Structure 1
Amino acid sequence: MQRRRLFFQLGFFALFLLAPALDLLRFDLNEAQLWVFGQRWSLGIDAFKAGEITANQAAIQIFLRAFLPVILLVVAFLGVAYRYGRLYCGWLCPHFTLVETLNNALHRASGKLSFWDKHRTHRANVEPTARWWPVFGALCLGFGFLWAITLLTYLLPPAAIWGNLIGGTLTPNQARFLVIGTAVFTLEFAFARHLFCRFGCAVGLFQSLAWMANPKGMVVSFDRDHARDCRTCSTAVYPGGSACDNGCPMRLHPRNIKRMMFSCVQCGQCLDSCDETQSAKTREPLLEWKVGADAVRETLRQRKAEMAAEASDTAKVRL
C-alpha cells in the first residue's frame, strides 16, 4: 500500500510542478487570462462588451464556465472527504509529500520527526548524526524556493520567470516575491509543517469537518478486546514498541477515538505497522479501516468506552 501511495504522491507532485508550464492550469496576470488544459478559459465578458452576445447569454456563460465547475469540483471533493476523510492529504497533496520527506531528514539529524516532539522516535539502523543537519536545512531552503517559484509560475508565464531567473533579469516585484516566499516557506517547512497541516490548511480543515460530520466515514478501528497484544508491538523499523504511534507522520495516536483523530490523513502507515507486528506472531491485525455500517458500530463502541471511562472517573472522585 505504501508503494502505491508513493506512486500517487510523486505523480501528483510532478503534475503540480508542471501544470503551469504545460498550461494545464494557471492564471496569467499579464493577460488577466485563465488557462485550463491548454485552452484559454473565457467567461464571455469580452464577447458581451463587443456586442456579440446578449446580457442573458453572458450570464449563462458565466454560470456554466465559472460557478458550475467550481460547485461541481467542491461537491465532488467534499463528497470524497465525507466518506473517506483526508484522502487527498495522505495520497496526493504535494505539501504532505514534502512533510514526510523532511520528517525522515530531521529524524536522521535529531531522532525526532518534529522540533516539538518531546521524545525521540527510535528506528532500527538509524542513529541521529549531526551531519544530517545541513541536509535538513538545505532541503527546507530548497523546497521553500521551489514552492515560491512554482506559485509564481501559476500567476506569470513560466518561461518568462525561469528565463529571468537564469539570466539574472528578474523584475523587482518578481525578486521580492521569490525572496519573501522562500523565507516564509522555508520557516514553515522547518518549524510548522505539521501545525500547518493540522490547523492552517483550509483544504485539510474542510475535509476533516466533512469527515467528522459523517458517522459512516472511514475510520481506523482498534480491536480493544485484544489490546494487551499491543504491549509487545514492534516492527523491523520500530523495534521499541508502539509501532503505529511512531509510524504516524501526523504525530497522532491511531488507537484513539475518532474525534481525537481530526487531522488523520488516511495514509495507512499505522495499519501497515500493526499488520506487520501481528502477522509475525500469527495474529490478526488490531487496526483496520472500517467504513459504512462498520464505522458506525466502531463509533458507538468508542462512545460507550468513553462514557464508561467517564463514569469510572466520576465514581473515583466521589469515593
Structure 2
Amino acid sequence: MSAAGPRKIIPIVQTAAPGGRAGLNRVQKGRLAAQAGFFALFILAPVFDLLRYDLDAGHAWLLGMPWRLGLDDFLAGRIGALEAGANVLLRLFVPIFTGAAVFLWVAWKWGRLYCGWLCPHFSVVETINKLMLRASGKPSVWEKKPLPPWEADGTPRRRDARWWLLVVPAAVFFAFAWAVVFLTYLLPPGEVYGNLLHGTLTRNQGLFIGAFTAVLSLEFLFARHLFCRFACAVGLFQSLAWVSNRDAMVVGFKRERASQCATCLPNRESACDAVCPMRLNPRNIKRHMFTCTQCGQCLQACEQSQHDNPQGPLLAWVSDEAARQNEAGFRAGRGQ
C-alpha cells in the first residue's frame, strides 16, 4: 500500500449478448443480409436513377427525379444572384451537411456501423479474406504467419492451395463489376450496359473500365483491409467521431478472466484474434481499436470458444457507463 492510500480497482461492467449463442448467430445473419441488400442497392441505384450524376445531361438524379442546382436560370438571367445562392444552399449544402451530421452521429454513438454492416468494399474485403484463408491459412498476404489451424468452435480449419484458383478470379471479378457500376454513376446505365453487352464500348469507356479494374484488382488482392484502416476517409471520420465519445458502444473485455483468452484454442492462441477482418486485437484499449468496424465476429468467436464455460464469453458489446468502466479497467490494470 502506497502513502497515497489503497489503489482503487474499478470493476468492468459487462452486458450479456442478447439471446446468447442464438442471438449472436442472428446478429451475423442480419449483418450479412444488410451487406447483401446494400450491395444490391449500390449496383441498382444508378439503374433506377436513385442516385447518380449524369455527365451527358449535366445534372444529378435523386430518387428518380432530376436534381439541379438552379444555376441555369441564373445564367439565363431569369433569377438574381441572391436566389441562385439560396438554391445552391438549399439544394446542395443543406442536404450534404444534414446527411453528414446524421452519418457522424451514428458513428459517434455506435462506431463504424456503416463499414461493418453496409459498405460494399468491406463485403469484398471479407469475401477475399475468407477465400485467401482457405487457400493459404492466412487472410492476407501480409500476415506474418498462418492463423491457428482451428475454428473458434474447435473444429479443424482446412487449407487447400486449390482455392487460389478462386482467389484471383474473384478479386478481378469484383474489380470489374465495381468499375462498370462506378461508370453507371456517371453515364446513363442503359448506354453502359448496352455497349458492354454488344461489345461496343467507346474508347473512353473501355479505358475507364480497364484502368479501374486493374487498380481495384491489385487493391483487392494486396491492400483490402489496409485501405480500410489507413486510406478510407469515410472510415476515418467515423473512427474520429467514435473515439471522441467515451460512452460509445465498444467491444468490452473481462480482464479478470484474461488467462482464459490464451487457452481458448490449442497452443495458447485466441479465437477472437483470428477472425477480425481488420486484423485487430479485440481485447485492446479503445484507441488501439480505432478502425474497429463493429462487425461482431470477435464476439461470436469468443462465444463459440467459451460455449462450455459456465461463466460465458469474455467479450460483449458495452456502452454508456459500462464502456467507461471498460476503459477504466485497462488503466487500472496498467497501474497494478
Shared fold, TM over 0.5: yes
Aligned pair partner of 1:294 in 307, 316, 322 = 322
* TM alignment of 1:102-181, pairs within 5 A: 102-121=128-147, 122=149, 123=151, 124-181=155-212
Give, as a single letter, the amino acid of the residue that structure 2 aligns with 1:135.
L
CA distance in 1, matches of 2:157, 2:259: 28
Give, as a single letter, the amino acid of the residue that structure 2 aligns with 1:278.
Q
Deviations 1:236-257 (A, max 9, x none): xx99841111111111110111
Whether 1:56 and 2:82 are equivalent positions in the alignment is yes
CA distance in 2, matches of 1:125, 1:181: 38
Give, as a single letter, the amino acid of the residue that structure 2 aligns with 1:266.
Q
Whether 1:6 and 2:4 are equivalent positions in the alignment is no
Give, as a single letter, the amino acid of the residue that structure 1 aligns with 2:187.
L
Q: What is the aligned-residue RMSD (CA, Å)?
A: 1.6
CA distance in 2, matches of 1:128, 1:251: 19
Contact 2:253-2:316 within 8 A present in 1 as well: yes
CA distance in 2, matches of 1:303, 1:140: 42
Deviations 1:234-289 (A, max 9, x none): 4xxx9984111111111111011111111110001111111222232222221111
Q: Residue 35 of structure 1 aligns to a residue in which SS?
A: strand
Contact 2:255-2:329 within 8 A present in 1 as well: no
Whether 1:38 and 2:69 are equivalent positions in the alignment is no
Whether 1:66 and 2:66 are equivalent positions in the alignment is no
Give, as a single letter, the amino acid of the residue that structure 1 aligns with 2:67.
W
CA distance in 1, matches of 2:182, 2:156: 38
Structure 1 gap segments, 5+ residues each? 310-319
Which residue is equivalent to 2:42?
Answer: 16
What is the deviation of 1:229? 2.1
Whether 1:92 and 2:113 are equivalent positions in the alignment is no
CA distance in 1, matches of 2:62, 2:308: 50
CA distance in 1, matches of 2:301, 2:170: 27
What is the deviation of 1:297? 1.7
Whether 1:249 and 2:280 are equivalent positions in the alignment is no
Deviations 1:158-193 (A, max 9, x none): 110111112121111111111110000000000000
- The total of aligned residue pairs comes to 305
Q: TM-score by structure 1 length?
A: 0.91
Once the two structures are aligned, what percentage of the paired residues are identical? 51
Structure 2 gap segments, 5+ residues each? 1-26
Which residue is equivalent to 1:316?
Answer: none
CA distance in 2, matches of 1:240, 1:225: 17
Change (3 A) 1:239 1:156: farther
CA distance in 1, matches of 2:127, 2:268: 22
What is the deviation of 1:233? 1.2
CA distance in 1, matches of 2:120, 2:268: 31
Which residue is equivalent to 1:101?
Answer: 127
Q: Residue 60 of structure 2 aligns to a residue in which SS?
A: strand
CA distance in 2, matches of 1:130, 1:279: 31
Change (3 A) 1:239 1:103: farther
Per mean C-alpha deviation after superposition, the further-off stretch among 222-231 and 105-114 is 222-231
Q: TM-score by structure 2 length?
A: 0.87
Deviations 1:108-129 (A, max 9, x none): 1111100011111224454222
Give, as a single letter, the amino acid of the residue that structure 2 aligns with 1:149.
V
* TM alignment of 1:211-226, pairs within 5 A: 211-226=242-257
Contact 2:109-2:242 within 8 A present in 1 as well: yes
Whether 1:303 and 2:331 are equivalent positions in the alignment is yes
Which residue is equivalent to 1:76?
Answer: 102
Contact 2:172-2:217 within 8 A present in 1 as well: yes
* TM alignment of 1:193-272, pairs within 5 A: 193-234=224-265, 241-272=269-300
CA distance in 1, matches of 2:94, 2:271: 45
